[in-house]
Amino acid sequence: MAMRDLLEKIRKNTPAGFDYEWLGRCVRSIDCATLDLTGLVPDFDANPGNYARNILLMEPFEVVVLHWPPGVESAIHHHEGFWGYVLCVKGEVENVEYTYDEETRELRERGALCVKAGGVLPEPDGTIHKIVNPSSEHPLVTVHFYAPALEDLDGMVLFDAERCWRGELNEHATTASFHQDEKGFRSLEKEAFSFVPLSVIPGNETHRLYPLIPKPSKGEIMDAISSYYAEQATSYDDLDGASLKRSRYTERIDQILAENLQAIQPERVLHIACGTGRRAWGIRDKSQLDYTVDGIDISASMVEQARQRGIAGRIGIWNECGAESDSYDAVAFLYAFGHIPTDLERRESLEKVFAALRPGGRFYFDVFNLDNANEWGPDALRAFEELNLSEVGYELGDLFYKRHNGKSVSFLHYFTKAGIVEMVESCGFVVSDIHRIGYVQRSGECLGLEEEGGNFLIIAEKPC
């Protein structure tokens, strides 16, 4: 559809008194793949350090096309008294959110997300954020829909987190950016606030949530996970050990598995998502047993390290690899079951584990707890609701994340206790034990099942 035809449709069909939800449905109904912006994308050559705007419509709401050079970003700015949506037409949009406390004059980084071409970014009233073109090579084209329409940028407040500058724009401002003539500012205050990056906020020291809109396909997710672990393959064990909360958590689980394996005296054990094999071999050492260890992982470099430890490692995705029926006394899927992209594939994975186990065999796996207030569960729930993620392919509990200094994004699904037990039992298993292990708080401690916090370690059996 030509943009001019879309604008005419908006003029004719927008109801009086439309609200934020209506506008969202309107923007999400636009087929980005067929939207023709010929002649409407503004040229940014005049100011390569800034983006360019072309206002197309002001009534019944504002429609404006923005063109972003590679690497360019807006300033952190406050949407006060207006709201809207951003349609990503070409490239990728990185959106970084903040909160600001007027009393303490503290600007805090809240989180970030990425919108792919065809995706829609909500911007509710009160939003404090910046938009970034994360590509160093490709331009970004976005279409913004705002209500009420902005006659100009007069009164908009900008923040510069690096220099701690706070500026207020006037009617002469051309963009929400510090990269413009000083005549666009009503006031510019230096050393105006303190900035708190996400990396110093408890629970976010090493990683950040990073929703992708829309949710990528299964293949794209698995490729992203592979890239994420390949990026840190040579340092993964060191990074793992450097996190005290994680090392205590994994050590407790490893000890529980070692003791449980002693009770069944296995001859052959499979570790799915074995990584470098460090944990698989460590559990074997703790058990003081001499069983054969097989492993499978999507990272070729990690599998190579696992082989060097003596594990019969295979490169691949568990759901796509062949496995002999009734061939293992035990299967472990540690710290990675939540990497499986969808509910359907998680069930398929469980059914495949069930088939691979001998009668009486045991399955050990841990999952992150959606209801753990000390972890990302509540943040995932908030994002699911605020961003209407169910409309772009997400299941409740899905989240994407990345290291603060990393490039690759990974995926994880969080579970409720009732939900994971129902899934396991529906695949034929008998759940013999559930442990709640502290992670962020009381790391490595075995918590009561009714206590708050912690993640779940599930021990399930294949009936004889």
30 within domain boundaries: yes
**One domain, residues 159 and 236:** no
**One domain, residues 186 and 241:** no
Q: What is the pLDDT of residue 206?
A: 84
Count H helices and E strands in the chain, helices first.
10, 25
Count structural domains, the chain.
2
The CB density around residue 168, as the number of other CB atoms within 10 Å, is 17
**One domain, residues 134 and 283:** no
What one-character DSSP code corresponds to residue 127?
A: -
**One domain, residues 117 and 262:** no
Mean pLDDT of 421-437: 97
**Does residue 123 contact residue 79 with C-beta atoms inside 8 Å?**
yes
Handedness of CA 284, 285, 287, 291 (dihedral sign): positive
208 within domain boundaries: no
What tens digit of pLDDT does each residue of 337-373 get?
A: 999 999 999 999 999 999 999 999 999 999 999 999 8
3-state secondary structure of 30: coil
Secondary element (H or E) of residue 24: helix 20-28
Least confident of 46-50, 201-205, 265-269, 368-372: 46-50
Residue 71 has pLDDT above 80, yes or no: yes
| Per-residue pLDDT band at 32 (split at 50, 70, 90) | very high
What tens digit of pLDDT does each residue of 140-180 get?
A: 999 999 999 998 999 999 999 999 999 999 999 999 999 88
Secondary element (H or E) of residue 362: strand 357-367
Which of 141, 165, 196 is the endpoint of a domain?
A: 196
Q: What is the pLDDT of residue 27?
A: 97
**Does residue 161 contact residue 100 with C-beta atoms inside 8 Å?**
no
**One domain, residues 136 and 275:** no
Q: What is the pLDDT of residue 46?
A: 67
Let me know if 228 is exposed, middle or buried by CB neighbors in 10 A (0-12, 13-18, 19+): buried
Mean pLDDT of 289-296: 97
Which of 196, 230, 255 is the endpoint of a domain?
A: 196
| Per-residue pLDDT band at 324 (split at 50, 70, 90) | confident
Mean pLDDT of 229-249: 75
3-state secondary structure of 206: coil
Bin 116: left if φ > 0, else alpha if -120 < ψ < 50, else beta: beta
Mean pLDDT of 262-281: 96
The CB density around residue 118, as the number of other CB atoms within 10 Å, is 18
Respond yes or no on whether the N-terminal peptide bond of residue 148 is cis (omega within 30° of 0): yes
Task: Looking at 232-357, list the stretches that DSSP marks H as alpha helix, in order from N- to C-terminal side.
Answer: 236-242, 244-264, 278-287, 300-308, 343-356
**One domain, residues 177 and 244:** no
The CB density around residue 252, as the number of other CB atoms within 10 Å, is 19
> In this prediction, what percent of the chain has a pLDDT beyond 70?
97
- What is the Cα–Cα distance from 408 to 261, expressed in whole angstroms? 35
- What is the Cα–Cα distance from 105 to 345, expressed in whole angstroms? 47
- What is the Cα–Cα distance from 156 to 75, expressed in whole angstroms? 11
What tens digit of pLDDT does each residue of 189-201 get?
A: 999 999 999 999 8
Q: What is the pLDDT of residue 180?
A: 86
204 within domain boundaries: no
**One domain, residues 223 and 361:** yes
CA contacts within 13 A on the Cβ side of 108: 11
Let me know if 348 is exposed, middle or buried by CB neighbors in 10 A (0-12, 13-18, 19+): middle
115 within domain boundaries: yes
**One domain, residues 158 and 27:** yes
In degrees, rounded to 5, the angle at the alpha carbon of residue 355 between the alpha carbons of residues 350 and 360 is 100
**One domain, residues 27 and 168:** yes
The CB density around residue 138, as the number of other CB atoms within 10 Å, is 14
Q: What is the pLDDT of residue 322?
A: 81
**Does residue 389 contact residue 215 with C-beta atoms inside 8 Å?**
yes
210 within domain boundaries: no
**One domain, residues 398 and 432:** yes
Residue 295 has pLDDT above 90, yes or no: yes
Mean pLDDT of 211-227: 93
Q: What is the pTM of this model?
A: 0.88
**Residue whose pair of structure tokens reads 């000390």 in the numeric block:** 374
450 within domain boundaries: yes
Residue 47 has pLDDT above 80, yes or no: no
| Per-residue pLDDT band at 8 (split at 50, 70, 90) | very high
- What is the Cα–Cα distance from 302 to 75, expressed in whole angstroms? 40
| Per-residue pLDDT band at 436 (split at 50, 70, 90) | very high
Residue 240 has pLDDT above 80, yes or no: no
At 115, which CATH number?
2.60.120.10
From residue 85, how far is each of 123, 126, 307, 450 by CA, in Å?
Answer: 5, 13, 50, 41
Secondary element (H or E) of residue 83: strand 83-90
- Segments forming the whole domain that contains residue 149: 3-196
| Per-residue pLDDT band at 237 (split at 50, 70, 90) | low
Residue 186 has pLDDT above 70, yes or no: yes
Average pLDDT, the chain: 94
Q: What is the pLDDT of residue 141?
A: 98
Bin 203: left if φ > 0, else alpha if -120 < ψ < 50, else beta: left
Which of 196, 227, 256 is the endpoint of a domain?
A: 196
**One domain, residues 141 and 239:** no
Least confident of 233-247, 374-388, 422-436: 233-247
- What is the Cα–Cα distance from 207 to 404, expressed in whole angstroms? 5
**Does residue 86 contact residue 121 with C-beta atoms inside 8 Å?**
yes
At 409, which CATH number?
3.40.50.150
Residue 238 has pLDDT above 80, yes or no: no
Residue 220 has pLDDT above 80, yes or no: yes
Task: Looking at 336-416, list the stretches that DSSP marks H as alpha helix, in order from N- to C-terminal side.
Answer: 343-356, 377-386
324 within domain boundaries: yes
**One domain, residues 325 and 362:** yes
What one-character DSSP code corresponds to residue 14?
A: P
202 within domain boundaries: no
